[in-house]
Amino acid sequence: MNSEEIRKKFLDYFKEKEHAILPSASLVTPEEKGVTNSTLFNTAGVQPLVPYLLGEEHPQGNRLASVQKCIRTIDIDEVGDNTHLTFFEMLGNWSLGDYFKEEAIKMSFEFLTSIEKGLGLDPNRLYITVFEGDENAPKDEESFNIWKQYVPENRIYYMSADSNWWEAGENGPCGPDTEMFYDVSGNLGDLDKEAFMKADEEQKVVEVWNNVFMQFEKKDGKIIGKLPRYAVDTGAGLERLLTVKNNKKSIYETDLFSEILEKIRNTDKNRIIVDHIRSAVMLISDGIIPSNTDRGYILRRIIRRAVKNAEDINISEVAKFFINKMGNAYPDVKEKEQEILKTINTEEEKFRKSLSSGLKEFNKISDKNISGEDAFKLFSSYGFPIELTVELAREKNIEVDVDSFNEEMKKHQEKSRTAAEGKFKGGLENYGETETKYHTATHLLHQALRDVLGEHVQQKGSNINADRLRFDFSHDQKMTDEEKQKVEEIVNEKIKESIPVNKVEMDFDEAEKTGALHFFGDKYGDRVSVYYIGDSIESAYSKEFCGGPHVKNTSELGEFKIKKEEASSAGVRRIKAVLK
C-alpha cells in the first residue's frame, strides 16, 4: 500500500463514518482566534483546530477528519536516521461533543486492522497503553474495559501521566489518552509491562495511533471538574503507518523517498538532502520565502543544509521529484512548480557562491574553539546559519560560543529595529491627509503588483510618510520597465475611475471567505476590519484586512508614480512611489 492509497483509505473511512473532510491547513501557523501561535508552523494535526476543541462551533459540524501538513525542526539533527523528518503528514479525526471513548476506540481499531476498510494490520501485533491515574485524575478504567473487547487484557498497560495524559498548560481542557503500538519485529508475542517498555525503548514496537480524550478542565494547574462538552483528538503519522504497513525498517524505504534515493544513493547525507528539499518544496508552496528571520530563516536553513550536503547532487531534480510526488495530494504544489524551483535554485546559487569563501574563512579560524564574534561574521558576511557553523565545528571536534553569537545577533537586531520602527501594522493615529492618501494608494499598488507579477506577491512591509510610500513585497527578481509601467497604469486607471473606498467589520471567518488579503505575521481578533475599493466587497478591486485610515474615494489620490524599484532582502523587492 503506497502513500496515496493510505491517505485515501483514511479519508474514505472517516467520511463513511459521517466526518466532514477538511483540507489541510497551511503549514504557517495562524495567529488569531486563540490558536496556539508560539510556533512558526503547524506541528501537529490538531493545531489548526484548537479553538473548536476549546468550545467554538465548527462550521462543518462536530465530526471532522483531515490529513494535515506539519513541520518540526526540533529534532533536525536526527534527520537521516530511520524515523526522523522535518516535514510530515498527520492523519487525524475529531469529535467535538459527539462520540467519545467507545466509538473512538472502535474506529481506531477497525481502521488499523480491517483488511476491507482499513490498513489490515495484524491485531495480534498490537499493544495498548491507557492512563493509570494519579492524584489529579482517576485511572482510565473505561478505556481499559473497551480495549478488552479487541485485544488480550495482558497487552493493555496502565501508564503514568508522562506518557498517557494530555494538557496544553495550566488552564483549559485536559484528559487521558490511549496509544496503540505495533510489533515491527513480528515475533514478540505477549509481553509484561516491563518487557513492553523495553521493546518501546528499542523501537521493536512503535506507536502508530493516539486517541486523546478531553474530559476535564484545569485551572491554575489543578483539575476543577469535568468539561460540559467532551472532545476527542485522534491522529497518526502517515509516514510511520506507511513504514509499518509495508514492513519497512525505515521511513526512507517507503514510496515517499525510495525512488529518488535509488537515483542518488541511500546514505545518511542523502536522506538529509531529500528530507530537507521535500520540506522546502512544501514551505515555498505555502508562501514562505528564504530570509534571515522567522519562517524564512527556517526555510533558508534547510535549503542551505541540503546544499552543504549535496556535493554533486542536482538539487533541482530532487525538488522536481517531490513537486510531482506531493502534487497529487496537494495540487497547489504542482501549480507553483516554477516558483518553487526558482526559489530553491536562487537560494542554492547564492549559498554556493558564499559557501566556498565562507569555508575558507571557517578553516582560518577553526584551529581553536570559535568565538561568538567570529560565528556572527560567518553569518553576516557569508550567510552561514549558526547551526551550520556548529555542524562544521562538530566535525572538527571544536566548540562554538553560541551564547556570545546570540548576543552579537541581538546587537545587530537592535540596530535594525530603529530602521523598522515605521513599518505599517495598522492604527496610524498620527497620519495626516497626505499619509492617508498614500495608505490607500498602497492598497491599489499591492493589488496591481499581484495583477502584473502574480498571486505570489505578498506584502512584507510598508513605511509611509508625507513625502512618499515604501512598499516591500515578495518577488524574486527585478521588475522590468514594462512591468513597472503596467503597475503604474493600473493604479492610475483605478484612481481615474473614482472608485469608492469602503470599510466593513465582520467575523474573522466571514472576512476570510471574502478573499480579503491578510498576512501570516499579523494578529487578528474574532472581529476584523476589511477595507475594500469598489461598490461591493464581492466585486471590489482591492480588499484587505486593515486598521485604516483611508480616503473616501480613489479620485482624491492624484497621479501615482513609481520612483524606484530595488531589492530589499532575499526574495523581497521594494518600491518607492509618490502621488503628484
17 band by pLDDT with thresholds 50, 70 and 90: very high
Question: How far apart are alpha carbons 130 and 133 in whole angstroms?
Answer: 9
Tell me what pLDDT residue 416 has. 44
Residue 234 has pLDDT above 60, yes or no: yes
Tell me what pLDDT residue 427 has. 34
What mean pLDDT is predicted for residues 29-53? 67
pTM comes to 0.69
Tell me what pLDDT residue 39 has. 65
Residue 129 has pLDDT above 90, yes or no: yes
Residue 232 has pLDDT above 50, yes or no: yes
Q: Which residue from 456, 213, 179, 462 is spatially nearest to 343, judged by alpha carbons?
A: 456
Q: Which residue from 93, 184, 109, 111 is spatially nearest to 147, judged by alpha carbons?
A: 109
33 band by pLDDT with thresholds 50, 70 and 90: very low
Residue 59 has pLDDT above 60, yes or no: yes
C-alpha cell at 167: 494538557
Tell me phi and psi for residue 363, to 5 degrees: -65, -30
- Cell 542518488, residue located: 264
Left (φ > 0), alpha (ψ -120 to 50) or beta: where does 371 sit? beta
Mean pLDDT of the chain: 88
Burial of 513 (0-12, 13-18, 19+ CB in 10 A): exposed
Question: How far apart are alpha carbons 68 and 553 in whole angstroms?
Answer: 43
C-alpha cell at 559: 497621479
- 172-193: pLDDT as tens digits: 788 999 999 999 988 899 999 9
Domain ranges of the chain: 3-253, 264-344, 366-421, 433-579
Question: How far apart are alpha carbons 180 and 466 in whole angstroms?
Answer: 63
Residue 277 has pLDDT above 80, yes or no: yes
Residue 51 has pLDDT above 70, yes or no: yes
Of the two residues 461 and 136, the one the predictor is more confident about is 136
What is the three-class DSSP state of 310? helix
What mean pLDDT is predicted for residues 371-377? 91
The pLDDT > 70 percentage for the chain reads 92
Residue 54 has pLDDT above 90, yes or no: no
Residue 134 has pLDDT above 80, yes or no: yes
Tell me what pLDDT residue 337 has. 96
Tell me what pLDDT residue 37 has. 45
Question: How far apart are alpha carbons 275 and 85 in whole angstroms?
Answer: 6
- 471-527: pLDDT as tens digits: 989 998 999 999 999 999 999 999 999 999 998 888 888 888 888 887 644 455 667
Residue 130 has pLDDT above 50, yes or no: yes
SS (H, E, C) 481-517: HHHHHHHHHHHHHHHHCCCEEEEEEEEHHHHHHCCCE
Is the peptide bond prior to 549 cis by the omega test (within 30 degrees of 0)? yes
Q: Domain 3-253 falls in which CATH fold?
A: BirA Bifunctional Protein; domain 2 (3.30.930)
Q: For 21-35, 140-154, 214-228, 484-498, which range has the lowest pLDDT when averaged over its residues?
A: 21-35
What mean pLDDT is predicted for residues 386-413? 85
Sign, CA torsion 197/203/206/212: positive
**E-assigned strands of 243-385?**
none
The pLDDT > 90 percentage for the chain reads 57
Q: Which residue from 282, 243, 337, 233 is spatially nearest to 42, judged by alpha carbons?
A: 282
Tell me what pLDDT residue 519 has. 64
Of the two residues 273 and 73, the one the predictor is more confident about is 273
Q: At what angle do helices 294-310 and 386-395 cross, to 10 degrees?
A: 30
Tell me phi and psi for residue 530, to 5 degrees: -120, 120
Tell me what pLDDT residue 536 has. 85
Tell me what pLDDT residue 308 has. 87
Tell me what pLDDT residue 421 has. 36
Domain 433-579 annotated CATH 3.30.980.10? yes
426 band by pLDDT with thresholds 50, 70 and 90: very low
Q: Which residue from 105, 106, 190 is spatially nearest to 140, judged by alpha carbons?
A: 105
Amino acid identity, position 565 = E
Tell me what pLDDT residue 309 has. 87
What mean pLDDT is predicted for residues 328-343? 94
- 517-568: pLDDT as tens digits: 876 444 556 678 889 999 888 889 999 988 767 888 999 999 999 999 988 7
- Residue 36 · residue 29 · CB < 8 Å: yes
Residue 292 has pLDDT above 80, yes or no: no
Q: Alpha carbon of 334 to those of 90, 328, 389: distances in Å?
A: 21, 8, 34
